[in-house]
Amino acid sequence: MKRIVIFASGSGSNAENLINFFQKRGNVSVIQVLTNNPRAKVLDRCKKLKVSALSFNKTAFIETEHVLNILKSSKPDLIILAGFLWKFPELILKNFPNKVINIHPALLPKYGGKGMYGMHIHEAIVKNKEKETGITIHYVNEHYDEGAIIFQAKCNVLNSDTSDDIAKKINKLEMKHFPLVVEKLLNE
């Protein structure tokens, strides 16, 4: 049985999608969800799905080894960032080399970096009159959104699209592709 730990900061739609996908498969277990936001909706989703979830603060994540020790005891095969907004500490990355991945709601290297997440990206796509956008699944390194790209999926942006329209298109790509890419990585 392969083991996954998910980090999320917000609503947790990607986390819920992954949990549901792998509960049906039976060969992978989402053993825990960790969040830096004690009021994140992902905590409610985890409670409903009967998946262990914990929140932590910056001290536990960056200044001490508290979160690292939780991960070491969990022994995950893969750590997934799904809407997690903090930069990942080098100490954790060194302890889990090539085992931390992220999903980004744009076609990296465009629209990556600090502050580029969620609606900020979609608004920039509209403002810059981009003709396409998409998702990028990539390995996490010590820099925001600069790790090696694993997978990208694209969608067209119409002149009439609003940032909300783009968000819906991106969500469809995430729901479709993210679990399949994670499953493929775990089977390699």
Residue 104 is a catalytic residue: yes
Within 10 angstroms of residue 10's Cβ, the number of other Cβ atoms is: 19
- Please tell me the distance from the alpha carbon of residue 128 to that of residue 107, in angstroms, as a whole number: 14
Nearest Cα neighbor of 17 from 115, 97, 86, 83 is 83
Q: Catalytic residue among 104, 120, 122, 143, which? A: 104
Q: CA dist 106 to 40, 123, 125, Å?
A: 23, 12, 9
Beta strands 2-8 and 78-81, pairing class: parallel
Question: What letter does residue 62 receive in the DSSP assignment?
Answer: I
Q: What are the catalytic residues?
A: 104
